[in-house]
Amino acid sequence: MSVSLELQSANRMFEGWHKKYRHRSSALNCEMTFSIYLPPQVDEGIKVPVVYWLSGLTCTDDNFSHKAGAQRWAAELGLALVIPDTSPRGEGVADDPEGAYDMGLGAGFYINATQAPWNSHYNMYDYIVSELPALVEDVFPVSDQRAISGHSMGGHGALMIALKNSDRYSSVSAFAPIVNPTLCPWGEKVFGNYLGDDRSEWQQYDTVELINAGYGKGLPILVDQGSADSFLEQQLLTDNLIAAAQQQKLDAEVRYCEGYDHSYFFMASFIEQHLRFHAQFLA
User: Tens-digit pLDDT profile for the chain (283 aa)?
Assistant: 557 899 999 999 999 999 999 999 999 999 999 999 999 999 999 999 999 999 999 999 999 999 999 999 999 999 999 999 999 999 999 999 999 999 999 999 999 999 999 999 999 999 999 999 999 999 999 999 999 999 999 999 999 999 999 999 999 999 999 999 999 999 999 999 999 999 999 999 999 999 999 999 999 999 999 999 999 999 999 999 999 999 999 999 999 999 999 999 999 999 999 999 999 999 7
d(C-alpha 282, C-alpha 280), whole Å? 6
The Cα 243–Cα 97 span in angstroms is 37
Distance from C-alpha of 124 to C-alpha of 90, rounded to nearest angstrom: 15
- Chain centre to alpha carbon of residue 114: 21
Query: Is position 152 annotated as part of the catalytic site?
Result: yes
DSSP state of 103: S
β-pair partners for 53: 149
pLDDT for 3 equals 72
Model pLDDT, residue 217: 95
Q: How far is CA 51 from the centre of its chain?
A: 10
Give the strand pairing for 16-25 and 30-38: antiparallel
Active site residue 262: yes
Does residue 117 have a cis peptide bond before it, meaning omega lies within 30 degrees of 0? yes
198 is catalytic: no
Domains present along the chain, CATH in parentheses? 5-280 (3.40.50.1820)
Q: Catalytic: which of 121, 151, 156, 262?
A: 262
Catalytic residue among 152, 170, 171, 173: 152
Whole-number pLDDT of residue 1 = 54
Predicted pLDDT of residue 283: 75
Tell me what pLDDT residue 181 has: 98
Single out the catalytic residue among 170, 173, 229, 278.
Answer: 229
